Each structure stands twice: as C-alpha cells, then as structure tokens.
Structure 1
Amino acid sequence: MASNFSFPPLTPEQIAEALHTYGLAPTANLRAEDIANPQPDLLPAVISNFLATVVDPTGADDLDGQLGFDALASLDNPEHYREGIRVLRLHKRASAFLESIQFPGFTLRDLLRPDPRRLVQVLSALINFLYYRDDKLALLQPIIHEFPNLDERCMELKAKLAEIAKNDFELVKLAQENSKLLSKIVESPEKLQRALEEKKTARAELKNAEKIATQSVQEKTATLEIYSKLGFDALASLDNPEHYREGIRVLRLHKRANAFLESIQFPGFTLRDLLRPDQRRLVQVLSALINFLYYRDEKLALLQPIIHEFPNLDERCMELNAKIAEHQKAIADQELAAQMEVPMVQQLEAEVNSLKQKLVEYNKKQLALRANATAINDKKEETHRKVIAKNDFELVKLAQENSKLLSKIVESPEKLQRALEEKKTARAELKNAEKIATQSVQEKTATLEIYSKGYEKLSKHSTKIQALQEQVTATKALEKEVKARKTKISDESVEIMALDTKIIEWDGKVHEMEEHVKAKEKKKDQIVADENQKLAALSSEVEWKLKCLEPRERKVEETIAKFTCYKDNFKSFLEQVDEVSKETLESLDRQAVEPLDTSATL
C-alpha cells in the first residue's frame, strides 16, 4: 500500500541538523558542507544507521550475515566478494524501503557515487519519513495513555487464567471423585442412568454437528473448484482462444458494468454505449456513476458515528479470537477427556446394571424379612399369651390338687408319693419348655438387632445418595453455564465474521470504483484531445476550401454526400457488430452454464 506522506527537498543545513537530532549522522562533526560536497561513504553510512535504528532495530536481517554453502560454492574466492555482497545487500534493502515510501529509481550509483542533488533528494525522503512517523506516533499517544498499566493488566489476566486452570483441575478432580462415588451407589440408579443417557445424547449431537460442518466445508471447496475450472471449460470450446482475448475482456467489462448499472437502477447499457457512445449517452452514464459516488459518500458519512463507537475493533477482535481459541482448546480437552472416560463410563454402566439387579434382590429380601419379622412378632405375642394362660390354668389346677392332696396326706402315703413324682416330672417339663422359650426369644431379639443395624446402614446410604444427587445437580448447572458461554462465543464470532466480510466487500467495491473512475477520466481526456485535434483539422480544411473556386465547392459537396453514405454504412456495420457481439455473449454464457449443469447433475 502506498504511503501518504510527501518529501519536499530540504536544505543541507536542515538535513545535517535532522541527522544529528535523530542520531543518524555517521560522524559527530557532520556539517552542511559535507552534504553539499558528499564523500562516497556518507550515504551508505547514513542508510545503514537508518536501517539499523528505524527499520530493523532488532537486527534480524543483518547485512554481514554469512552466505549459504551453495552460494559460496559458486565463487572462486568468497573472501574477495565480502564487501561487494554487503554493499549489494544494503542497496537491495534501501531500494525496497524507498520504493515502499514512493521514492523509486534508487540505483547502485546513487549509493556509491551520488551527485549532490540526488543525495539531497534521498536524505530529504528519509528525513520526511521520520517526520511523518513522528506525527503518526503523536496521534497514537492518547490511545497509548488510555492503557497506562497494560503490563499489570496482562499479569492480572495471566493470574486469572492460572486460577481458571486451577479451577478446571479441581473440577476434573471432583468429576473423578464423583465417578468413584457413583460406583458405590446402592439407591437411585435410575437418575444415574438418565444422566449417562443425556451425556451420550450430547456427545452424539456434537459428533453430528462436526459431521455437518465437515460436509459443508467439503461442499464449499467442491463449488470453488468448479468455479475455478469454469474458465478452462469455456475456453476449451474455442478453436483459438488467444484471438478472442480482447473481445472476451470487453464483453466481461460490459457484463460487469451492465450488472452494476442495473443494480443502481440505470438499465439499457449496451455494447455501443461502451465502445462508441454519443455525447448525450456518455453524460447520462457518467452522471449515474458520479451520483452513486455522492450517495455512497453520504451513506459513509452516516456510518462514521457507528464506526467511532468502536474505535478498538481490531483489539476487540484479537481478544475475542484469543478467547475463542482458548475455549476451543478447552472444548478439545474436554472432548479428549470424555473420549478417555468412555471405557470408564461403559464399566460404570455395567456396574450400575449389576447394582440395579442387586438392589431389586435386596429389596425383595428386605420385604420378605420384614414380613417374617412381623409374623415372628405376632407368633411371639401369641405364644406369650398362650404360655401365660396355660401357666395360670396349671397353677389353679395345682392349687386345687394341692388342696385335695392336703386332705389326703394322712389317708394314703403311697398316693402322695406318686403325686409328688408326677409333680416333679411336670416341673421338669415346664423348665424345659421355659428354656426353649427363652432360646427362641433370644434368637428373635438377635434377628431384630440385625434388622435395626441394616436399617441404620440403609439410612446412611440414603444420606450419601442425596449428597451425590446435589453434586450431580451442581455439575449440571455448571454444564448449562458452559453451554451458554459457548453459544455467546459462537454468536460473537459470527458477528465478527460478518463485520469482516462487510469490510472486505466495501474495500473491494471502493477499489473497483476508484479504478473505474480513473479509467473513465483517462478515456474522457483522450476523447477530448482527439475531438480538439479533429476540430482544428476541420477548421483549417474549411478555411482552405473557402478560398477555392466553385468547382472545388462542388467536389466538396460530392465528398460530403459520399461521407454521409459511408457514415450510414458504418452505422449499419456497427449495428451488425452489436448483434454479433450479443450472439457471441449468449453462446459464451450457454457454454459457461453447460459445464455447471453437467457438474450439478453429476
């Protein structure tokens, strides 16, 4: 891109003062007389200092850098060419820089044996560039002062990034702990299965989105290849394409100009208007173009406040691109971690299924044990009632028998002895029954203690499961936040891409319009010069013919009649050319569309 500064020639005194101020003077006692009567080593020293301090202060492109082995192998004595190679490198870099600031034609003679006038021109260009750079840096100073603590801000951002990385590591750690705890879950396997299914669906959606994106990219590349090959397919239908080069260029120019003029509501632009326009038609076309330029300037002036609202759009775009890259890297890491966790997830699914089966079995056993416990309690109460009633009845019976026996003690001692033996046997049976009852009660109390311990363990597991459910809900909330941030980042990236495309389109349109206007101006100047020449020739011919005799006038009238006839013939010829050009355009369009149709059918 061409620079915008100018370099008016300076005086030797101004050049010497500027070289001292910028530190480019080869010696400390450089004066104006040294510039007016230059030495051969003055300009190389100034240019080398300029390149070292202004153009390349880092010294990445050193003039004394060594050549490669291939270059040295082509020289007989490389040490003899050392100074010459350094001078050639200096001239190459100086010429490239001077051409970039619109100062062409810097030769090797200007570097080694400059005359005073040429030396003043070169040094004036360099010093005016330094002035121009100082002005631009002065304009940028307020923007620099807006961010005085940029390094501190960068350090803070790096610290925040480190904290985010630490938090990500903690999240990964928590996820691992969560996976370990999930393996120990006894209850609520349905929720875990639902969460795993949701993760599977999310991964499937991501894979489908990636497939769709790759397919769209492949389709776009295929269409671009088709459009790039279109010109070769169209030219292949012609016998000698080089003969049609100028005609095709004119037809393309007419097609583009006609499309643009129709887009600004100026239809009817023909090939005659482009090649042989009359004055009225030319004024109409140029008026349409200039009015469009006025309209565009007004719209750009209306857009200036919107542009000024976003002064740091490039920096913002860079920040957003950096954030997008970071998030993409995080997404890639997350996907890689998810892929690495796939076997663990499958193992967890198998364990969850086995745990579900065990849970169903345990629930069935628990229900059976609870039913057995209630039945045992009922039996225990019934046995207690029966034993108490039986014992009461036996006690009443024994009391009655005792009263009877007391009445019979003196009468029959043998009967008394027999009754005592029967009572002893009954007591032994009662003691055995009591022992059996106590053993059964102890067994039932032990089973009740086992049931109570199992109930306590189940309650503890239920509290742990509730805590795990809370952690799962928290992780789901974090995933939702990550998805929302991803959507925001994608929306911002889409907006940035749209703005970039609009900027590129406007730049291309501006460049095309400027080139078009320059070409029109050149054509206009050429036409005016031709017409002026024709008018001068015609005026001289008229003056000469007025001095001629009457037969000469008759001949002139005859020639005018012939000229009108030739003019009519030329108009008819131009109309035929227009018809032929239209037919060729239609044929070329058909030939260009046919390969597209064939490619579309394929």
Structure 2
Amino acid sequence: MQQHHYSFPMLKPSEIVTCMSDLHIHVSLEDLERPTPSRMAAVFDAFTSTFMGVSRDSCAVPSFHVVDMLEHPDLHQDDVALMAFYRQLFKLVTEVGIHDFSIRDLIKPEPGHVRKILSAIINFAKFREERVSVFEQCNKNSAEHVQKKAFLEEKNQEIAETVNTIRSYEPSSTLQRAEEEPAYQRVRERNLAQTAELRELKRIQTALTSDIENLKKTKTDAVEKMNNTNFLLSNTKQDCVRLRSRIVPNPAKLQQALVDMTNSISSEKTNLTVRERQYRDLLTRMEAIAVVQQDITTCTKLMEECEFEMKKSSTAEKSLVHERENIERKNQELREVNIKEQQLKRQLANISDKITRLTKQQTAKKEANDLKMSELAAAYEAGVTERDLNQAKIDSNQAVLAELEEKIVVTKKNVESEIARFLDCYSKLKTRGDRYCAELARMMSS
C-alpha cells in the first residue's frame, strides 16, 4: 500500500497541552512526561470519537463471526476489543503521517513517541478546522446529486415499464400504429432527454470528484511546503541573530570610540584621585556628625517615652469612662435578660405540651409508615421479579436483533445484485426497443 509522508512540526509539551485544551481534551505535562496506558487510551479514544465517529466502547462489542472462531470467547473479549480499537486508531495515525505506530504505543507508551503522535494529530486537527467548510459544501453537493440521481433512476424505471407495456401490446392494424405513433415519439423524446440529463449529471459528478482529488493534492503540497518554509524561516532567523552580533557597522567610528574611551579612562582616574581625597574629608566629618546624631537619638527616645506615657494616661482615663458606661449598659441588659427569662420559661412550658402532642402524633405516623414500608417492600419484590423477566426479554431481543443485522447484510447484497441484474435487463430492453422502433419506422416508411 502506498504511504504518504507528511512533514509536521514537533510541538513543545506546553504547546501540546494548550492545543489539547482547545480540542476539549484534558492532558497534563505529567501525562506527556510519564504516559500511562490508561491515560493514553482515553486520549486516543477522544481523538477517534472526534475525527472518525468511533469510540472505544463501540469497539468493545466484537463481531459475531470473530467470536465464533474463538474457543473461549469470554477470555479474549478484552483482547478482541483492544485490537478492534487499535485497528481504528491505526487508520487515523497513518493518515496523519505516523507510519511507525504499533500496539506498543497503547500497551507501553513512550514519552518521545507520544509527543510525536500528538503533534501529528494536532497538525491534522488544525488543517481539518481550516478545510471543514469546503468539505461540508462538497458533501452537500454530492448528497444533492445522489438524491437527484435516485429520482431520475425512479423516473427511468417508470419509462422502462411504459416501454415494456408498449412492447407487450401488438397493434392489430396499420391504422392503430399510426394513431399510437405520436405517443410513441413523445415517450422516445422524453427517454432521450432523461438519458442526456443522466449523462450530464454523471459528467458533473466526475468533475466534482476530480476537483476533490485536486484539492486534496493541493492541500498536501501546501502543508508540506508550509512546514518546510517554517523550518527554513526558523533556521534563517537563528542565523540572522547569530550573525547580527558579529557585524561591525563602521570600523572608523569603532576606532574613534576606542580613543575616546582611553581618554575617558585617564580623566576618570584623575577624578578618582580627587574623589578619594574628598571621601577622606567627608569620612572625618561623618564621624563627628555620628557623635552628634547619637546624642540627638538619645534625646528623641526620651521625648518619645514621655509622649507615650502621656498618651497612656489619656487612654486610661478614656477607658475608665468607657468601662463605667459599659457597666451601666450591662446592668440594663441584665434587667432585660431577667424579663426574657420569665418569657422563655412560659414558652418552654407551652413547647413541652406541644412536644407531648407531637410525640403521640409521631408514634401514630410511624406505625402508618411501617405498614406502608411493608407494602412497598412487597411491591419492590414484585418489581425485581418483573425486571428480571424484562431483562430476559431484552437479551432475547438482542439475539434476534443480531440475527436481523446479519440478514440485513445478506439482503443488502442480494438487492445490490438484483439492481445490477435489473440494470443489465434495462440495457438489453432498451437495445431491443431501439431495434423495434427502427423496424417500426422502416415498416411505416415502406
């Protein structure tokens, strides 16, 4: 089988996580660094469901002819489901440009190869998103042409039946043939028009198929060219950055700058000597200032302590006034609490009476609920029995459904063979009709 090799960029792990998030598939950096079979199976399942419409659960139901070939099908059910899912996944990764995919990528995935596979599938997803509108339009046009073809085939069948009716009818005289000649001509013209229309539709379908193939080829060339261009552009940018650091715009200016820097260094040395002398003078002054500053700091601390004691005294006076107000307020609250206590005692007595009445009502309700629970338990047992019967019916219906599916496949093949046979008969009948018309025309002319 011919293999198509596509070039795609190898994405960084952070880029893969971002792109997978855009596809609504959760993948973390830990999954890429240490991939596990279960996690990668879930990711690949999301890919096949999105791009192929096939999930791993649908592959878990094996074909009946495969099950019949196994000696112990129950022991191999998981293996058969895994191989069915692998077969679907292999189609996807092969189409996106990965030709070294194997069952090992599902059983024991490796970080480097997983990153390569995900990069290829993400590249395909981006291209698919760009071209999905063109595909949908072509698919819509194809569906319309198929529907029109079916309508024309139905009309063609009606015409064929009319021709058969005409052939089965033998005119008894030349006068009857002359009377039926206009109707025959109209039917013949209608048949020719329908045939021309069918040929035109066939030509349009062929042209559309050719356009689709050309678009696919153009897409492949464009993607490969784009990837190569991006690779060359990246290398060129790196070369430009590396060479730009080595370029000397103007050697004369560079020499002049070196001379100026030499003169500047000499001047800076002179200034440094002067600055050192000034530094020693300033250091002597700073020592004297430090002594004065220490005395000022001591005085400042004493002033701050005095201010703190004054503030503390003022705060104590305010706190004393506030506490007196709190004592008066607490006494008022105490009087209110005593009043509320008397009210609550009366309410407690009323509540005790209510509790007694509610206890009696609860006992009666509990007895009624126990009776109802026993009735519900009996109904539940009956429901369980009915569910088991229904489950048996469901299993029986599933077996019948499987048998019907096999019959549908056989019937479909028979219908296709019947259609081919009918088309062959139609071709032969059409040839005989043309001969009959020619003979009829020759006899009428004679």
TM-score (norm 2): 0.38
TM-score (norm 1): 0.29
Bigger CA radius of gyration: 1
